[in-house]
Structure 1
Amino acid sequence: MRPLISAMTSLRHVLLAALKSLLRGKSFLQAMLAFWISPAAVTSQDGKLTPGPTRTVADFLNEAEDLLLGPVDDGLSDFAAKLKQQFRIGLRSNPACMLPSYNHQLPSGHERGQYLALDVGGSTFRVALVELRGKGVKGPASTIVQMDSFRIDSRAKSLRGLEFFDWMAERILQTISKESKRGSSPDDPLLVGMAWSFPIEQTSSKGGKLCGMGKGFYAAEGLIGRDLGEIIELACRKRNLYVELSAIVNDSSATLLSEAYLTSSTRFGLILGTGVNIAVHLPVGTIGQPKYGDRPQSWHDKASHVIVNTELGMFGKGILPLTKWDYSLLDSHPRPDFQPLEHLVSGYYVGEVCRLALVEAIETTGLFGGIVPPSLLSPYSLDTETLSLIAADTDPSSSAACKIFASRHPSVVEPDCADIAVLRTISSYIARRSASIVAASLVALWELKSETEEELLNTLPADSPFAAETKAEMEIARTTVAFNGSVIEHYPGYLQCAQQYIDDLVSTSSRVGGSIELVAARESSLLGAAVALACLE
């Protein structure tokens, strides 16, 4: 346990701490005595005097490991099996998830042309001119000719209904006006492909009914059920900009399409950043017929398979390995049942779970001098980016990590390498749990795809044009999963951890043969939106 504050941080720090306690309602003498005698005797959690450490750091970490990784280490295969059953039910009857797109044809890799692409993500809106050059050409098969990126901050997220789409239209116009006068005539609208990072009930390749958005957005307010393509086209027309959204894809579907343009074995697209989602290429008959809506028979005549937006975050209710910190997060969440799985894996929530665990560790073990940095009292104040930067500092002194934490979460007690080591350990448990759940989700979907391909083949006449396509799907030896997102791309060790969990699950899978490989898909949303548009042509 750390020595007294007088031996650690000087009298000036004690006085500062006491002054802060005084401002929270303590008497000056009470605050001074508490901080002088035992730094862990007072925390900033609720401004009240509390006992000193009640357990050791080692005890806390043992409990954290048991809670966060125990269910993963002992029952991940069982969890994947239960998740697969939820996927089957969702495919048939849940209108909010397992949503079939209009993309039934994967790219050949030889599509060519320049396309305007939009990417609406959880924190960024991008507008780009994308050139597809095709496989086999000298140089890259695709390039981004021009791109503007706009941060979707809290103010933009709070825009309600049409206000948000007006905000989008302004930025589309801002980008287009730099390049040319294209889109200035209603008789010659500018064709656009868009990656949309939120649920949509697709009614055509170019449109779909807007659904609840989550992630702190209010743009769907008053517009749920309205056609997304029409909303955006109307917002643009108000600015004398005429566009036609010819292809709308979910960001996970865009990720799948972008890598399928380069790698023919790609059948999954994984997004893991602020949120989480997976797109998967499945037989058409796997999905309940009502989910296809009123799409024309000509579409069904051509489509043996379709890219499905799973809305993965919505699954897991009743089977997820929740801890006391997860329950605490849910208690204060405005929609605790909306995306159960996302709460345990995505970048938006990983930091919050770690914050809740860290506050408990500080209050009960004397970590960080027993004083909770004031900023950590605010929900979601410990972001996953901070944890990623701390995890990346492998120097024994942890000097860089100490500076990062102290600058973002200042306190009267400066963190030392022992504090940071504990924080790094807690966050590593949470990151590993996230990676294991993502791995289980992928393997469950991989098994489900194999099973449904076999089910389809058994129902097809021998001379069916779909039989050859289905057999080809079943013969893919190494399935490629295209991935994109800040967590899986940048969190140290996350990708390797997820791949190891995948390999372990595949080795014990009921499916015989085959493997899964995670492959990075750079700029996948923009490229995928362009590929979707090219496939339509």
Structure 2
Amino acid sequence: MTLSSSLEQLRAELSLDLSQLDVIALDFERAMAAGLRGQSSSLKMLPSFLGLPTGDEKGDVLAIDFGGTNLRVMAARLDGSRGATIAAVDRFPLVDAKAGYNLIGASAQGAELFDAIARRLAKIAPDDGSLPLGFTFSFPCEQTAVMRASLLHWTKEIQTQGVVGQDVGNLLVTALKRNGLTRVEPRVILNDTVGTLIAAAYDAGGVDIGAICGTGHNACYLEPKHPLTGAPMIVNIESGNFDGVAQTRFDAQLDRTSVNPGGQRLEKMVSGKYLGEILRLVLVEWTEKGFLPKSPRLHETNVVSGAVLDQILLDHGDHAAIDRIAREKLQMTGLDAEQRRAVQAVMRLLADRSARLASASFVGIVRHTDPKLQAVHGVAIDGSLYEKMPGYAAELQRTLEGMLPKAEHPVATRLAKDGSGIGAAIAARVAKG
């Protein structure tokens, strides 16, 4: 086998045509229906107890955004006319080796984590007056009320102890009291995907699906008549856990070595957190077969970052940037022109597969809510893949159009920035009543 033939084999394994995507969308739709009925399904279909905003929500509000290794707190103002401004914001990492702390490692405790959140919120909370708070907590929860949500399990490699199985709303309220923030009124816990949909609906309307296509991957949608209430409700699908897509050997290898083997299988094929790792595994195989020069760093997990992936895709001409990345990031020297092109081709295959799988899940959602494909649908998407990865948004939109040629209205996608922040602020006002 040669490098060229190996690349063609990968192309066959990673490429998904419309007929394959249709099968995935149908399986996704069926998994949605099963999850909504409470039957066995890889899709949790978690209720948010929130509907869409009207656009006239108004007032000052606080928000917490916790969705990964960094945390953000903010104060915002809603003007009641679909406008929102950020008055203050504070960001901080949950892991800082130089400062000597790790709030999301296996030795960290939940009380320690939530106390740190409360202390950061204290920096921007007013000294007088009561303000509502929206809490974006972007991890799978069993939610039984707008402020009652028990963590099912951590994702994104977080391992903090004493949180799984606990009511995160209660953990937050208790931490706020311990830290003297009695004037802060927590009103809602939501997922970042739900926040993305709420923020986009408040800003301009015309959307009924929200998604994250970035470090993580998830989707939510407005269920027209939720079984719990008989009224419209946003459902957090936890679509990253969908298990209806066949794994390649590289997907299976990544899955086996992750902190949650067997879980979040779709997310491990779609999200930016894992695309670089899959690319690394391909390059490891190629070095072992003698198709690429040896690299001492290729055996280090997560050595290929998201920013590097974008640079690889943007590189044209003689692919000098790929050669530089190989030397500086991987300590791999002597890549010839064919090898550079092959590295870029694999990255393009992985990016396109990610976009097409995300599209297939959106098609499953549309068919679930609108079997006759007659209504107007819009997908609000936040995340670095959709916003920044070269060609990603175009491939996603192209796939949607290819999969739904008979839809009465094209399903449009649009960037929805900061759903996890502004979305939480708006949700606190939506939850008022």
Provide the TM-score with structure 2 as the length reference. Answer: 0.91
1:361 aligned residue (265, 274, 286): 286
Cα distance change, pair 235–414 in 1 and its aligned pair in 2 (3 A):
farther
Letter in 1 for 2:35: G
Shift of 1:207: 2.6
**2:162 alignment partner, SS class:** coil
Please give the alpha-carbon distance, in whole angstroms, between the structure 2 residues aligned to 1:102 and 1:515. Answer: 29
Shift of 1:414: 4.4
- Compute the displacement of 1:352 (Å): 1.1
Change (3 A) 1:515 1:358: same
Q: Is contact 1:116-1:129 (8 Å) kept? A: yes
Between Structure 1 and Structure 2, the one with more helix by share is 1
Q: Residue type matched to 2:69 in 1?
A: S
Distance 1:94 1:275 in 2: 25
Partners of 1:406 and 1:415 within 8 A in 2: no
Deviations 1:113-155 (A, max 9, x none): 221111111232111111212437xxxx222121111223372
- Aligned-residue RMSD, C-alpha: 2.1
Give the greater-gyration-radius structure (CA): 1
Q: What CA deviation, in whole Å up to 9, does each residue of 1:469-489 have, x standing for no partner?
A: xxxxx8643x11111011111
Secondary structure of 1:148 counterpart: strand
1:278 equivalenced with 2:222 (yes/no): no
Distance 2:286 2:196 in 1: 39
Structure 2 equivalent of residue 241 of structure 1: 181
Whether contact under 8 Å (1:56, 1:365) holds in the other structure is no
Using the alignment, how far apart are the partners of 2:247 and 2:431 within structure 1? Answer: 43
- The equivalent position to 2:7 in structure 1, one of 61, 80, 86, is 61
Aligned: 1:309 with 2:262: no
* Separation of aligned partners in 1, 2:323 and 2:81: 47
Instruction: Give the conservation status (yes or no) of the 8 Å contact 1:194–1:247.
Output: yes
Q: How many angstroms apart in 1 are the aligned matches of 2:145 and 2:153?
A: 19
1:429 maps to which residue?
A: 349
Distance 1:258 1:364, change over 3 A: same
For the residues of structure 2 that align with 1:518 and 1:380, how far apart are their CA atoms?
Answer: 30
Contact 1:499 1:517 in 2 (8 A): yes
Matched, 1:166 2:115: yes
Alignment pair present for 1:393 and 2:315: yes
Aligned with 2:389 (options 473, 491, 504): 491
Whether the 8 Å contact between 1:326 and 1:353 is mirrored in structure 2 is yes
Counterpart AA for 1:535 = V
Deviations 1:77-131 (A, max 9, x none): 1221122111111111258710111103x21212222211111112321111112
Shift of 1:401: 3.5
Query: Which residue matches 2:328?
Result: 407
Distance 1:173 1:450 in 2: 45
Alignment match of 1:380 (pick from 277, 282, 302): 302
Whether the 8 Å CA contact 2:380–2:416 is kept in 1: the answer is yes
* 2:103 aligned residue: 156
With normalisation by structure 1, the TM-score equals 0.74
Q: How many Å separate the matches in 2 of 1:442 and 1:93?
A: 21
Letter in 1 for 2:367: E
Q: Contact 2:137–2:190 (CA<8 Å) still a contact in 1?
A: yes
Paired residue for 1:526, among 415, 421, 430? 421
Distance across 2 between alignment mates of 1:405 and 1:160: 39
Query: Retained in 2: the 8 A contact 1:253–1:279?
Result: yes
Partner Cα separation in structure 1 for residue 215 and residue 84 of structure 2: 26
Give 2:76's aligned residue.
130
Greater Cα offset, 401-410 or 79-88: 401-410
Structure 2 residue 397 is matched with structure 1 residue 450: no
1:334 is matched with 259
Shift of 1:304: 1.5
Distance between the aligned counterparts of 1:147 and 1:264, measured in 2?
A: 26
Gaps of 5+ in 1: 1-54, 183-187, 290-299, 455-473
Q: Deviations over 1:438-460 (max 9, x none)?
A: 00000001100114xx8xxxxxx
Matched-pair contact (CA < 8 Å) for 1:314–1:341: yes
Contact 1:270-1:276 at 8 Å conserved across structures: yes
Deviations 1:374-405 (A, max 9, x none): 111022222333111221223x1322333234
Aligned equivalents of 1:440 and 1:92: distance in 2? 22
| Cα distance, 1:239–1:416 mapped onto 2, change above 3 Å | farther
- Written as runs of structure 1 = structure 2, the 5 A alignment for 1:85-104 is 85-93=30-38, 97-104=44-51
| In 2, Cα distance between equivalents of 1:281 and 1:476 | 13
Cα separation, 2, equivalents of 1:135 and 1:236: 31
The alignment partner of 2:421 has SS state of helix
Q: Distance in 1 between matches of 2:264 and 2:337?
A: 36
Paired position in structure 2 for 1:15: none
Q: Summarize the alignment of residues 204-223 of structure 1 with structure 2, pairs less than 5 Å apart.
A: 204-219=145-160, 221-223=161-163
For 2:297, what is the secondary structure of its paired residue? helix
